[in-house]
Structure 1
Amino acid sequence: MKQLVLAEKPNVAQKIAKALECKIKQNGYMEGEKYVITWASGHLLKLYDARDYEPEMARWDMDNFPFIPQKFRYKKIKSYEKQLSIIKRLVQRNDIENFIVATDADREGQLIGETIIDFLKVNKPVYRVLRNEWTPEDVKKGFENPIPNSEMKSLKDAAVCRQWSDWLIGINLTSVATLKYVAGKGVLNVGRVLMPTLKLVYDRDMVIKKFVPEKYFKLMAIFINENGERFSAVYFKDKQDKFKNEKELPEILSIVNRKGVIKNKKTTSKTENSPHLFNLSTLQGYITSKNPAWTSDKVLKTAQSLYEKSFITYPRTESMYLEESLVDKMRKVFELLKGSLDAKFDDSRRIFDSSKVSGHSALTPTYIVPENLTRDEKIVYNAIKNRFLMQFLKSAKYEETRIIICVEGLQGDFYAKGRIEVDKGWKILEYVNSKDSILPPLAALDKVTMENAEIKENFTSPPLHHTEKSLIVLMMSCGKKVTRKNNESVLGNVLSGFKIGTAATRADAIEKLKSAGYITKKGRYLYISDLGRKMVENFPVKSLFDLNYTGHLEKILSDIEYNKIRKDQYLSLIYDFTREAVDLIKNAPDMVLKKGEFSKTLGKCPECGHDVIEGRKAFGCSNWKAGCRFAIWKDDKYLASMGKKATKSIVRELLQNGKVRIMDLKSRKGTLFDAYFMYIKSDDKENKYPYRWKMVLKK
């Protein structure tokens, strides 16, 4: 008898098959003496559309809402019907004794397996394998003692509640809001995670907009010591170095060339520990801050690719610590990767602390050292590898010096600060640009001379617009600002589930806000659009913008996962919320929205230079009435043959760069791959729409 194993994706199935010695390759699966390995391709099933339940729902009518199905049902995703039928046939084989779900060890992974089990009515014993990585060693260990899938009921319930509630809120509120405010002009996207994230961008932009700069003055001076070495210092009086009135400062000309003396010198030795290991959100923040062209979604997809190739551990983690049981495994990884570094393995609770691990441990490399990574994969892998190795390097050490200078005949003093690096420690792996000045050798009672001075006029500055990094940090902490003092309390909120979205969904939420036209990105920074501002200010369902309300919903999902709250309690709450929200929208005043706000420009037409906008069937040139034929079809057969279709993000990147990287394409054999594409013009002048896709580089 054999056991059927379901992996989440084909490339993971290959890793499992190799570890379990399943060498016979068949159409849609691999087989060995004990195991048959097959795969999903992410989700093979999706929830019914509203029109699938009732025919009249195909017509958008305000009277049809709220719509809450009596029973949620699933249907096949057409492009994956063949693979689903292969799984069904394998399940029904007489020699298959058990069904083992080996999808990703999180809510979505559980949901993928559970929907297939229920849809196919699997009547054989079902087991679950939960792994944080897919190295051969880890695969073998996981399959030694698979756990009964019945023990995963609470995780299944949390996954189902997340999916159903997002469907209910998204379908009902998006439909009613669109009918109410923009019928015939576009679509108003409304979502449980989208709205509070939009509010964070809005709040920051409003603070900046309302900010009134205040003028202040500082007196800066250059001193020279007896060895001819110069350094700068700042005037202060009564512990204040910023002055609202210039008259509060001494007359510059009267103090230049005066003698001074070092009144006090204080040197403090300090150490700086390395930053914690990455979770997904901190990795996304780090990469996007170093590489402004990257998005958080790109970081996630690249990390997922590395995970599926067994080079890193599970990326969709919230934790920045490691389980204590991983000490021996991490010691092995450390020895493989440390090279010539002067590093020593450390199993302290600063790194290994099970009480601070939520679900999955922090991101680390595995013992499989990669070769031939793509440029993008190198960026992400090296960041994770270096952050891991930093944990075992010495602390950075420096000396911080502060001197006070007394100038003859002057009320008030000058201060100067400097920093001397004693030991780079972990910073040899991460360049950190310090703004601290370096002071020359100075001692108490040394004599100095003021060489020149200058009063500088300054203005207070508003906070910066959000970047993807700062926005994700606030989503992690449910809007609470992270400081050194409250870092542990914020971490406690994350571990308890009080947050906006999850590590897996935050990047997607930011991308959806861009696609919906609610926010824009210029360089590193995110800005609220006119449409986004109107939504926050006028959309009547205010609880959706409430960070505490959204955090509370996510906390309940976390509690369901840990069997603290029942599934039916959460769904009852969502049903009531949906009914009330629909009623609020129906009875709310109109919101004035312009049609142009929905024709969001995706880029410039390569044919004539006009704007490219989204239409019902294609992304096309806005100059089409004048005869421009440029169009990118949403149902393009070439992309569809690889399981993809043109999206806003794909079109936007194509128009900006001339080519676009599309990930997770499906080959004829069912394996996934990435490739670069261009959209080129053919020589056929008779063709009404002469452009076509061309693969230019397969990754």
Structure 2
Amino acid sequence: MKLIIAEKPSVAKNIADALSIKGKKDGYFEGNQYVITWAFGHLLQLFDAKDYDTKMARWKMDNFPFIPEKFEYKVKSNPKNRQWADQGAKKQLTIIHSLMKRSDIDGIISACDYDREGQLIGDSIIYRARPSKPVYRLLLNEWTRDEVLRGLDSLKPNEELRALQDAGVSRQWADWVIGINLTSVATLKYQKGKGKALNIGRVLLPTLKIIYDRDKEIENFVPEDFFKLTATFVTSKNETYEGTYVEGKEEKFKKRETLAMVEELIQQKEAVILNKKVEKKKEFPPFLFNLSNLQGFITNKYKGWTSDKVLKVAQSLYEKKFITYPRTSSTALEESLVGKTAKVLKTVTEGMPYQDEIKFMKTKRVFNNAKVESHSAIIPTYMKPNRLTADEQIVYTAIKNRFIAQFMPIAEYEETKINTKILHIELQGIFESKGKVQLVEGWKKVEKISSKDKLLPIVQQDEKVTVGKTEVSTHATQPPKPHTEKTLLRVMETCGKGVKEEDNEELVGSILTGFSIGTPATRAETIKKLKDVGYITANGKNLISTELGKRLVETFPVKSLFDLEFTGRLEKILSDIQKGSVKKGIFLKTVFNFTTESVETIKGDKEITIHEVTGTSSKSSNEVLGTCPNCDGNIMEGRKGFGCSNWKKGCKFVIWKNDKYLSSLKKKPTKTMVKGLLKNKRAYVKGLTSKQGKKFNAYLSYEKNPANDYYSWNMEFEDKNK
């Protein structure tokens, strides 16, 4: 009889179903050959600092740096009261350990997720009981019946996963040491008032710096005007096409006068088709999803989605057996999965309108061991869902469509380039025209991507045309766009290695493996935490650093924590530990030395306040409520009012919380009211009180006075005759 330990109850149920085990007991299932029990994720956590030494119960600068000689674990704390152990976790841990000691159990199988955290969860539970029985590892990429049975037939001794355990432990201990020491010391040094600590983290700060740097680029951007000259050419058949004036490869000109002179010279002139080039080009589908690409795709396409939400929904689909393991960094499948993939494709495409165009093929774009890191890309399983929630449907459809697209015809288009030269005058440049026609829609049918054709008339080289309408247009260089979760995830995934947002996924896939900010499993959590602690805020899809976040980047003295290279190297070492090429002791020594030096740096830093805790929570004070009508800045809630983030630059827009006009109506401004005013230019306010004490409702608007920079209130009543 073998004991199987799953990471979650839902996974234990999947294993029990695969083995046709129905007998459910208190905390486990029992069959003839297997007993299946479960954890609830982490049942154990590292000691708090005060558990090692009672003097650490109070934060004092002299107590740091604090690095335990030996790291100890305890039952995880109750989230509502951290002084006490979580009773559910304690009970389940007792059940697991008692099952391990049963005389009829002759082996233990860890069936936790096949990643660093899963290995850590299983090993921390199993080895706490000092088992004398052999321990095995079930390594699966999905929880379908076929995979569970196959996995149980090919178990590995858990000792073979020691490198994975070392990587998990190293990550956990390193983040504990850096977090406990630097958060405590930074809060003592730079924060005034009691409240949330000033969070300092190995992955948190470089991610904040990515957003801060983009904000600074936008803030310091100085737009420059440039000019373009376009001309419409008329053929002998009275057909027209447009061309842009180009000298060398330059079509943007800094001086309008240059183009104005050209425009004057070419009026009504004859021109000739210098050359015409027609090329057929292929468009391959985007690569299969890894977690970061899936999160970027969904958050960019659907309003209100965050990376964290995408991960949670994908995890739910995985545990329900509908998709493969989602926390992957790979965009290809292992070559051993060819047969299985063909079966999945046949199952998920049954009854589709373009079923005849789908053809299974083994290609390097899809099957490539060199592009698989631990887990293959995310694809559907052969289990077709009958009923999904609206959120699950969005994520599942995206994964399914991206999978099917790999086996549809390659999209093809024809690109035409025409160069036109003006005759009888001396010009340095020519006019370029481009046209594009979709020939084969192919995989774009699946993704529902519509291509806009730009047709050019059928003309031949040396054909004569005439200059018709001309125009010199004015343009301005645009600042970089704020980061979104999609663009931020890309920078985190590649550690900013010179990858631009528009770069294709093939280039991104060639970035040095393991050299990243965080892992696929932790990046969404990092972005969420940055919002929760008030370092960044979201304005629609855009991510912006708050005043607190900016002060932290500009003031905090341990600059290497903001350095992508430094954090990327640490993540690379963790990746190498996982592969068995680096010992965990080397990594931990580096981290402990870094922490000790950083604590001393903070202690010796000048006295400065980064964060002053007031009555208003940092979360509410950093939420962007809308765009400033005065300067397009961000309106946020402060202690005394709702004001513009550009107030230091002179923007006077503010709605005071003790506004006299609203006070006379027995009202105070609320976030909902302010959001309505900014979005719709007026807000419907209920429960206003007249001088006679009568309650009424009205529309309020907050409008700028023509004579100065100040704003005042206007009231309109609802037209009940409409």
Structure 1 length as normaliser, TM-score?
Answer: 0.84
**Aligned residue in 2 for 1:192:** 202
Contact 2:332 2:377 in 1 (8 A): yes
**Aligned residue in 2 for 1:233:** 243
How far off is 1:434 after superposition? 4.8
Within the alignment, does 1:122 sit opposite 2:128 as a pair? no
How far off is 1:602 after superposition? 3.3
How far off is 1:374 after superposition? 0.8
**Aligned residue in 1 for 2:573:** 556
How far off is 1:601 after superposition? 4.2
- Which whole-Å CA distance do the structure 1 matches of 2:452 and 2:555 have between them? 44
How far off is 1:85 after superposition? 2.0
Are the structure 2 counterparts of residues 486 and 524 from structure 1 closer, same or farther at C-alpha, using a change threshold of 3 Å? closer
**Aligned residue in 1 for 2:445:** 428
Are the structure 2 counterparts of residues 499 and 574 from structure 1 closer, same or farther at C-alpha, using a change threshold of 3 Å? same
Within the alignment, does 1:349 sit opposite 2:367 as a pair? no
**Aligned residue in 2 for 1:19:** 18
Deviates more, 1:457-466 or 1:360-369: 457-466
- Which whole-Å CA distance do the structure 2 matches of 1:482 and 1:273 have between them? 20
- Partner AA of 1:82 in structure 2: K
- Partner AA of 1:43 in structure 2: H
Contact 2:246 2:430 in 1 (8 A): yes
- Of residues 214, 217, 230 in structure 2, which corresponds to 1:204? 214
1:417 partner SS: strand
**Aligned residue in 2 for 1:677:** none
- Which whole-Å CA distance do the structure 2 matches of 1:259 and 1:327 have between them? 61
How far off is 1:611 after superposition? 6.5
RMSD: 2.6
Within the alignment, does 1:180 sit opposite 2:210 as a pair? no
Matches within 5 A, 1:486-635: 490-495=508-513, 497-595=514-612, 599-602=617-620
Are the structure 2 counterparts of residues 418 and 596 from structure 1 closer, same or farther at C-alpha, using a change threshold of 3 Å? farther
**Aligned residue in 2 for 1:289:** 300
Are the structure 2 counterparts of residues 239 and 131 from structure 1 closer, same or farther at C-alpha, using a change threshold of 3 Å? closer
**Aligned residue in 1 for 2:51:** 52
**Aligned residue in 2 for 1:332:** 343
Contact 2:323 2:380 in 1 (8 A): yes
- Which whole-Å CA distance do the structure 1 matches of 2:452 and 2:252 have between them? 20
Contact 1:279 1:363 in 2 (8 A): yes
1:36 partner SS: strand
- Partner AA of 1:155 in structure 2: L
How far off is 1:378 after superposition? 0.9
- Which whole-Å CA distance do the structure 2 matches of 1:247 and 1:148 have between them? 77
How far off is 1:328 after superposition? 0.6
Contact 2:191 2:613 in 1 (8 A): no
**Aligned residue in 2 for 1:40:** 39
How far off is 1:175 after superposition? 0.6
How far off is 1:170 after superposition? 0.5
**Aligned residue in 1 for 2:413:** 398
Contact 1:476 1:494 in 2 (8 A): no
- Partner AA of 1:513 in structure 2: L
**Aligned residue in 1 for 2:164:** 155
Are the structure 2 counterparts of residues 519 and 485 from structure 1 closer, same or farther at C-alpha, using a change threshold of 3 Å? closer
Within the alignment, does 1:359 sit opposite 2:358 as a pair? no
2:253 partner SS: coil
- Which whole-Å CA distance do the structure 1 matches of 2:6 and 2:606 have between them? 50
- Which whole-Å CA distance do the structure 2 matches of 1:146 and 1:69 have between them? 36
Contact 1:318 1:494 in 2 (8 A): no
**Aligned residue in 2 for 1:142:** 151
1:161-216 C-alpha deviation (Å, 9 max, x unpaired): 10010011011100100010004243211101111111111222222222222211
Are the structure 2 counterparts of residues 485 and 656 from structure 1 closer, same or farther at C-alpha, using a change threshold of 3 Å? closer
- Which whole-Å CA distance do the structure 2 matches of 1:167 and 1:485 have between them? 36
- Which whole-Å CA distance do the structure 1 matches of 2:438 and 2:456 have between them? 12
How far off is 1:349 after superposition? 1.8
Are the structure 2 counterparts of residues 434 and 202 from structure 1 closer, same or farther at C-alpha, using a change threshold of 3 Å? farther
Are the structure 2 counterparts of residues 282 and 487 from structure 1 closer, same or farther at C-alpha, using a change threshold of 3 Å? closer
- Which whole-Å CA distance do the structure 1 matches of 2:459 and 2:55 have between them? 84
1:425 partner SS: coil
Contact 1:219 1:453 in 2 (8 A): yes
Contact 1:198 1:518 in 2 (8 A): yes
The count of residues paired between Structure 1 and Structure 2 equals: 615
- Which whole-Å CA distance do the structure 2 matches of 1:428 and 1:493 have between them? 30
Contact 2:164 2:578 in 1 (8 A): yes
- Of residues 485, 488, 499 in structure 2, which corresponds to 1:468? 485
- Of residues 305, 308, 328 in structure 2, which corresponds to 1:317? 328
How far off is 1:588 after superposition? 0.8
1:448 partner SS: strand
Contact 1:493 1:499 in 2 (8 A): no
Are the structure 2 counterparts of residues 433 and 530 from structure 1 closer, same or farther at C-alpha, using a change threshold of 3 Å? farther
- Partner AA of 1:56 in structure 2: K
- Which whole-Å CA distance do the structure 1 matches of 2:219 and 2:7 have between them? 46
- Partner AA of 1:72 in structure 2: F
**Aligned residue in 1 for 2:228:** 218
Contact 1:218 1:242 in 2 (8 A): yes
- Which whole-Å CA distance do the structure 2 matches of 1:154 and 1:311 have between them? 30
How far off is 1:147 after superposition? 1.1
- Partner AA of 1:599 in structure 2: S
Matches within 5 A, 1:76-95: 76-77=75-76, 78=86, 79-95=88-104
How far off is 1:494 after superposition? 4.5
How far off is 1:311 after superposition? 0.5
- Which whole-Å CA distance do the structure 2 matches of 1:516 and 1:380 have between them? 28
2:223 partner SS: coil
- Which whole-Å CA distance do the structure 2 matches of 1:425 and 1:447 have between them? 37
% identity of equivalent residues = 51
- Which whole-Å CA distance do the structure 2 matches of 1:174 and 1:374 have between them? 40
How far off is 1:276 after superposition? 1.0
Are the structure 2 counterparts of residues 571 and 144 from structure 1 closer, same or farther at C-alpha, using a change threshold of 3 Å? same
- Of residues 448, 460, 467 in structure 2, which corresponds to 1:450? 467
1:136-165 C-alpha deviation (Å, 9 max, x unpaired): 000000011211111111111110010010
Structure 2: 5+ residue stretches without partners: 77-85, 624-635, 640-655, 664-670, 677-722
How far off is 1:485 after superposition? 8.0
- Which whole-Å CA distance do the structure 2 matches of 1:114 and 1:305 have between them? 24
1:96 partner SS: coil
Deviates more, 1:171-180 or 1:268-277: 268-277
Structure 1: 5+ residue stretches without partners: 605-609, 614-621, 627-651, 658-699
1:428-467 C-alpha deviation (Å, 9 max, x unpaired): 1123455663323333244433331211111112221111
- Which whole-Å CA distance do the structure 2 matches of 1:494 and 1:48 have between them? 35
Deviates more, 1:274-283 or 1:216-225: 216-225
Deviates more, 1:390-399 or 1:433-442: 433-442
- Partner AA of 1:121 in structure 2: R
- Which whole-Å CA distance do the structure 2 matches of 1:591 and 1:438 have between them? 63
Query: Which has the greater radius of gyration?
Result: 2
1:514-535 C-alpha deviation (Å, 9 max, x unpaired): 1111111111111122211221
- Which whole-Å CA distance do the structure 1 matches of 2:441 and 2:147 have between them? 35
Are the structure 2 counterparts of residues 602 and 338 from structure 1 closer, same or farther at C-alpha, using a change threshold of 3 Å? same
1:57 partner SS: helix
- Which whole-Å CA distance do the structure 2 matches of 1:584 and 1:390 have between them? 53
- Partner AA of 2:259 in structure 1: L
- Which whole-Å CA distance do the structure 1 matches of 2:613 and 2:418 have between them? 60
- Which whole-Å CA distance do the structure 1 matches of 2:637 and 2:74 have between them? 38
Contact 1:601 1:612 in 2 (8 A): no
How far off is 1:335 after superposition? 1.1
How far off is 1:313 after superposition? 0.4
Contact 2:438 2:451 in 1 (8 A): no
